[in-house]
A and B are shown apart, each in its own frame.
Chain A
Amino acid sequence: MNDPIIAIAFFVLAAVLLISALAVVMLRNIVHSALFLALAFVSVAGFYILLNAEFLAAVQILIYAGAVMILLLFAIMLTQRANTPMSNVSNSQAGLAAIVAAAVFVVLAFVLSKTSWLTGAAAVTQPNTEVLGKALFDYYVLPFEIASVLLLVAMIGAIVIARED
Chain B
Amino acid sequence: MLSLNHFLLLGAVLFSIGLYGALSRRNAVAILMCIELMFNAVNITLVAFARFLAPAATASQSLAPVSTVGQVFTIFVITVAAAEAAVGLAIVLAIYRTRRTISVEDVDLMKW
Contact = CB atoms under 8 A, between A and B. Distances in A.
Interface of A: 1-2, 4, 6-7, 10, 14, 17-18, 21-22, 24-25, 30, 33-34, 37, 40-41, 44, 47-48, 51-53, 55-56, 59-60, 63-64, 67-68, 71-72, 74-76, 78-79, 81, 87-94, 96-98, 100-102, 104-105, 108-109, 112-113, 117-124, 128, 131-132, 134-136, 138-140, 143, 147, 150-151, 153-155, 157-159, 161-162, 164
Contact of B64 (A97, A100, A135): A135
A162 B92 CA distance: 8
Contacts of B18: 21, 25
Interface residues of B, number: 77
B83 interface: yes
Contacts, number: 254
Contacts of B25: 25, 88, 90-91
A78 B90 CA distance: 11
A72 B78 contact: no
Given A56-B75, A96-B23, A123-B70, 18 more contacts: A17-B10, A18-B10, A44-B44, A53-B74, A72-B85, A74-B89, A78-B96, A91-B104, A100-B23, A105-B15, A118-B54, A123-B54, A124-B50, A124-B67, A131-B67, A135-B65, A151-B83, A153-B83
11 contacts: A2-B2, A24-B21, A24-B37, A25-B20, A56-B75, A90-B26, A119-B54, A123-B54, A123-B55, A131-B65, A138-B63
